[in-house]
Amino acid sequence: MKGAKVGLERIKRTLLRDKTGSQEDVIAVLKSDLSELLDCYFEVDPQSIRAEVEVEEYGRYEIKLSACAFRVRGAFRSG
């Protein structure tokens, strides 16, 4: 899962760099990376991808991600 590790590092760098920047930029990166990752496993509806980032007390981030898929990709179906 090299892609997942690369995506995670990209998200970490973006969040660290964005402490004083635009939250919309972070959300755009999250949506893009989430879409790319999920596309490995599912046929995702691109319009359904949602990302929300909130900064909690003490600077901790709460990250909410969601997406809808039409189907599971063939190699990952069970049964």
State the Cα–Cα distance between residues 62 and 30, nearest whole angstrom: 13
pTM: 0.60
State the Cα–Cα distance between residues 29 and 6, nearest whole angstrom: 13
Higher pLDDT, 54 or 79: 54
Cβ count near 76 (within 10 Å): 9
Quick one: average pLDDT of 30-55?
89
